[in-house]
């Protein structure tokens, strides 16, 4: 059955190469668009996705958006010690210029207690410590712009220089790199009033603590991390439009393959009739057709994966593109499944072929 | 058992609906073929020759009567079982060779053997012998489009014999061939039928070919009458 399927593909090379090529193009587009979607999601919200916190307390009228929420923390700090498990999260956008260079970048400064769960740690360089030294740990994307450990970054607003001591990974939010700074150092910069925060974070869900915090600071509600990620400006708009493109591509793949194999099947009706007349069973003929679709789909998707790797390696560095192998396998699985579903339409036709038509028929 | 006819039709009737009435294409027809016997059925077009052969070949079920293949009544078999009978017990030769376009001559034979689950290395010799027997020893590796009409029909004959069927059914096997080629092909079928002791039925309208047949029937008005 398999040999028969492959012999036919080999004999009608052009026909099957054409359909394989179309499937390859669709699969490659699905992979590239999904890589782009992951890339955009990465730039938009990866810092929150990776944040080691489950519960976010935001102002009720902030539309679940971190940057629109703002709390005064002085009451809370008096009533509940931070040892109890809560951490403030403040995102403060500033501009930094690299001394002796044209590099300038908007970053989001995040004051943290370096021992708390909010602080992600470094992948290169050294960590910050609780002190008033103006040291920062920034997202590693700045490395691509030529920033190195030890560089001085100048902030015009406060007329202060910050020293890069290390780099952290996956710390992008709203298309800006995050820069972590020790709380005491941030306070010493005197650019925002003391004790403000965008949100209050809990590492894990804790109903009792959540209720106590709500009692002291009213006007907010507790959200999951996922809700905060989804509400990041632009996040769901980007993701839903790209996902719609992917869904359409998959639907197109179904119809292109289904109609192609349907036409091939109709062309082969006589041949199926003869084969049935000499004793071929439906399962044999349907099996051979399904195997053809399967082989074509596996080869096309395989080539598309290789092509996506090639594209990813040749993209300009600033391009938001994330090659997520597990996601790629998910889409490959979906494409393979829908291809086989498309072939089922032809199977109905094959089952209906009457072997008797082989009789009394002059070609 | 030796006297058991491989193919026997007993009191077969087949009706087709035509408008609001039924037409009996085959009426209470009985017929049998013995091993090593080559029987011809002739008749004008529209006389029901194809219907007759379809019923004999387990492609069509009669409305009444029995179709006995090696003593078993297959008239009421389900489709799948009939496909199996066709695969293992009956060899078909059609008007046109009806080869699979993307298979080499030897693979045409291999295919039917594979479908029957009988393929093994020893069968490779059988393929060779059969193709030699039909005079195609040098054409084993040719695709159908590289063969002439007569050669294609020879491959089809070899294919019909591949699964060692007891019955050979030929439906106007020479319809697409010229006179000389037709004689050769029917001679070949007759020879193979005699050599291999098959029960063979050929439907034809070419009276020149009848000299190779042991018995000749004429099909008219749904009945068979013996002519020779």
C-alpha to C-alpha distance for A263 and A265, rounded to whole angstroms: 5
CA distances from A248 to A26, A27, A254, A263, A324 (A): 10, 12, 10, 22, 21
Q: At residue A324, does pLDDT exceed 60?
A: yes
pLDDT of residue B75: 85
Scanning chain A, the segments in alpha helix (DSSP H) are 2-11, 13-49, 74-79, 141-144, 183-189, 207-216, 225-230, 235-267, 269-277, 282-313, 325-352
Q: What is the mean pLDDT of residues A304-317?
A: 91
Q: Coil, strand or helix: which one is B28?
A: strand
Structural domain total, chain B: 1
Would you call A352 an interface residue with chain B, using a CB distance cutoff of 8 Å? no
Q: At residue B1, does pLDDT exceed 60?
A: no
Q: Is residue B18 included in any domain, yes or no? A: no
Chain A residues with CB under 8 Å of B111 CB are 4
Q: Is residue B13 included in any domain, yes or no? A: no
pLDDT band at A362 (very low <50, low <70, confident <90, very high): very low
CB-closest option in B50, B111, B175 to A4: B111
The residue written with tokens 């019909």 in the block is B160
Would you call B101 an interface residue with chain A, using a CB distance cutoff of 8 Å? yes
Q: Is residue B216 included in any domain, yes or no? A: yes
What is the token pair recorded at A356? 């008797």
Contact yes or no for A221/A57 (Cβ under 8 A): yes
pLDDT in tens, A257-301: 889 889 999 988 888 998 999 889 999 999 999 999 999 999 999
Q: What is the mean pLDDT of residues A338-359?
A: 87
Chain A residues with CB under 8 Å of B87 CB are 278-280
Would you call B10 an interface residue with chain A, using a CB distance cutoff of 8 Å? no
pLDDT in tens, B203-224: 988 888 888 999 999 998 888 8
CB-closest option in B80, B102, B143 to A281: B80
Would you call A287 an interface residue with chain B, using a CB distance cutoff of 8 Å? no
Strand partners, B200: B38, B168
pLDDT in tens, A139-190: 998 988 888 999 999 888 788 899 999 999 999 999 999 999 999 999 988 8
What is the token pair recorded at B152? 């294609």
Q: Is residue B12 included in any domain, yes or no? A: no
Using alpha carbons only, how large is chain A's radius of gyration in Å?
A: 29
What is the token pair recorded at B172? 């106007």
Counting one residue from chain A and one from chain B, the pairs whose CB atoms sit within 8 A come to 88
Would you call A362 an interface residue with chain B, using a CB distance cutoff of 8 Å? yes
Residues in chain A: 363
pLDDT in tens, B113-150: 988 888 888 888 889 989 998 889 899 999 999 999 88
B171 to A356: CB separation less than 8 angstroms, yes or no: no
Q: At residue B179, does pLDDT exceed 90?
A: no
pLDDT band at A120 (very low <50, low <70, confident <90, very high): very high
Scanning A118-167, the segments in alpha helix (DSSP H) are 141-144
**Rounded to a whole number, what is the distance in Å from the CA of A234 to chain B's nearest CA?**
54
Q: Closest Cα partner for A59 from A199, A223, A220? A: A220
Q: Is residue B28 included in any domain, yes or no? A: no
Give the mutation candidate from A273, A285, A360, A363 for the B interface (greatest B CB count, under 10 A): A360
pLDDT of residue A111: 94
C-alpha to C-alpha distance for A284 and A290, rounded to whole angstroms: 10
Would you call B125 an interface residue with chain A, using a CB distance cutoff of 8 Å? no
Chain A residues with CB under 8 Å of B88 CB are 279
pLDDT of residue A363: 41
pLDDT of residue A179: 95
Q: Measured in whole angstroms, how far is the alpha carbon of residue A275 from the centre of its chain? A: 49
Give the mutation candidate from A359, A361, A362 for the B interface (greatest B CB count, under 10 A): A359
pLDDT > 70: what percent of chain B? Answer: 99
Nearest CA in chain B to A361: B95
C-alpha to C-alpha distance for B70 and B5, rounded to whole angstroms: 7
Strand partners, A200: A57, A88
Would you call B131 an interface residue with chain A, using a CB distance cutoff of 8 Å? no
Which CATH number goes with the domain that contains B144? 3.40.50.300
- Please, what is the Cα angle at B181 between B179 and B183, to 5 degrees? 70
Q: What is the mean pLDDT of residues A114-126?
A: 93
Q: Closest Cα partner for A181 from A138, A125, A143? A: A138
* Owning domain of residue B171: 33-58+77-226
Which residues, including other chains, have CB under 8 Å from residue A330's CB and lie 6 or more apart? none
Q: Closest Cα partner for B170 from B189, B188, B152? A: B189
Please give the ipTM for the structure prediction: 0.88
pLDDT in tens, B3-28: 678 999 999 999 888 888 888 889 99
For chain A, domain boundaries: 2-44+235-358, 48-230
Q: What is the mean pLDDT of residues A55-80?
A: 91
Q: Is residue B19 included in any domain, yes or no? A: no
CA distances from A41 to A238, A245, A321 (A): 8, 16, 9
C-alpha to C-alpha distance for B213 and B208, rounded to whole angstroms: 11
pLDDT of residue A44: 92
C-alpha to C-alpha distance for B13 and A363, rounded to whole angstroms: 29
What is the token pair recorded at A185? 């150092």
Q: At residue B2, does pLDDT exceed 80?
A: no
Q: Is residue B7 included in any domain, yes or no? A: no
C-alpha to C-alpha distance for A26 and A100, rounded to whole angstroms: 48
How much is the mean pLDDT over chain A? 90
Contact yes or no for B86/A277 (Cβ under 8 A): yes
pLDDT of residue A361: 53
B53 to A362: CB separation less than 8 angstroms, yes or no: no
Chain B residues with CB under 8 Å of A358 CB are 59, 92, 94, 98
What is the token pair recorded at A350? 């094959």
Give the mutation candidate from B96, B145, B157, B164 for the A interface (greatest A CB count, under 10 A): B96
Nearest CA in chain A to B87: A279
Q: How many CB atoms lie within 10 A of CB A99?
A: 11
B94 to A355: CB separation less than 8 angstroms, yes or no: no
pLDDT of residue B3: 65
Give the mutation candidate from A4, A14, A278, A289 for the B interface (greatest B CB count, under 10 A): A278
pLDDT of residue B221: 85
Would you call B86 an interface residue with chain A, using a CB distance cutoff of 8 Å? yes
A280 to B50: CB separation less than 8 angstroms, yes or no: no
pLDDT of residue A47: 93
Least confident of A24-28, A99-103, A198-202, B1-5: B1-5
pLDDT in tens, A138-151: 999 898 888 899 99
Q: Is residue B127 included in any domain, yes or no? A: yes
């Amino acid at each position: 059955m398999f040999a028969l399927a492959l012999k036919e593909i080999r004999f009608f090379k052009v026909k099957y190469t054409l359909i394989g090529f179309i499937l390859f193009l669709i699969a490659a587009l699905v992979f590239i668009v999904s890589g782009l979607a992951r890339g955009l999601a990465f730039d938009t919200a990866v810092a929150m996705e990776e944040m080691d916190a489950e519960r976010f307390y935001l102002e009720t009228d902030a539309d679940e958006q971190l940057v629109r929420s703002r709390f005064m923390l002085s009451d809370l700090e008096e009533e509940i010690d931070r040892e109890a498990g809560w951490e403030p999260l403040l995102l403060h956008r500033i501009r930094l210029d690299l001394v002796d260079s044209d590099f300038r970048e908007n970053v989001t400064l995040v004051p943290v207690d370096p021992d708390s769960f909010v602080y992600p740690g470094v992948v290169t360089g050294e960590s910050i410590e609780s002190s008033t030294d103006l040291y920062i740990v920034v997202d590693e994307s700045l490395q691509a712009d030529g920033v190195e450990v030890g560089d001085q970054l100048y902030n015009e607003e406060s007329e202060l220089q910050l020293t890069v001591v290390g780099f952290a990974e996956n710390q992008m939010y709203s298309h800006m790199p995050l820069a972590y700074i020790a709380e005491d150092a941030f306070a010493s910069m005197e650019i925002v009033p003391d004790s403000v925060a965008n949100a209050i974070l809990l590492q894990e869900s804790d109903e009792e603590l959540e209720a106590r915090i709500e009692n002291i600071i009213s006007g907010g509600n507790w959200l999951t991390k996922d809700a905060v990620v989804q509400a990041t400006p632009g996040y769901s708009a980007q993701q839903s439009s790209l996902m719609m493109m992917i869904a359409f591509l998959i639907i197109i793949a179904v119809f292109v393959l289904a109609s192609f194999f349907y036409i091939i099947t109709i062309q082969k009706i006589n041949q199926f009739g003869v084969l049935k007349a000499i004793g071929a069973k439906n399962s044999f003929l349907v099996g051979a057709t399904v195997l053809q679709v399967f082989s074509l789909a596996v080869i096309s998707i395989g080539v598309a994966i290789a092509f996506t790797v090639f594209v990813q390696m040749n993209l300009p560095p600033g391009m938001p593109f994330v090659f997520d192998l597990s996601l790629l396998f998910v889409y490959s699985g979906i494409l393979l499944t829908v291809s086989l579903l498309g072939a089922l339409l032809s199977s109905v036709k094959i089952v209906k072929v009457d072997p008797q038509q082989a009789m009394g028929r002059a070609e | 058992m030796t006297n058991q006819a491989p193919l026997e039709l007993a009191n077969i009737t087949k009706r087709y609906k035509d408008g609001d009435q039924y037409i009996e294409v085959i009426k209470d027809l009985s017929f049998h073929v013995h091993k090593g016997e080559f029987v011809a059925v002739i008749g004008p077009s529209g006389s029901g020759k194809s219907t007759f052969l379809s019923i004999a070949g387990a492609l069509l079920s009669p409305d009444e009567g029995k179709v006995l293949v090696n003593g078993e009544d297959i008239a009421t078999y389900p489709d799948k079982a009939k496909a199996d009978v066709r695969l293992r017990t009956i060899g078909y030769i059609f008007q046109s060779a009806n080869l699979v376009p993307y298979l080499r001559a030897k693979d045409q034979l291999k295919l039917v053997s594979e479908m029957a689950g009988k393929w093994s290395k020893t069968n490779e010799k059988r393929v060779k012998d059969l193709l030699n027997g039909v005079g195609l020893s040098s054409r084993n590796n040719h695709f159908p489009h590289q063969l002439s009409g007569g050669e294609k029909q020879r491959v089809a004959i070899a294919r019909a014999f591949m699964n060692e069927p007891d019955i050979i059914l030929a439906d106007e096997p020479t319809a697409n061939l010229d006179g000389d080629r037709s004689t050769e092909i029917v001679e070949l079928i007759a020879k193979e039928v005699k050599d291999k002791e098959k029960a063979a039925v050929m439907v034809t309208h070419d009276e020149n070919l009848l000299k190779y047949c042991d018995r000749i029937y004429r099909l008219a008005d749904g009945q068979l009458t013996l002519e020779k």
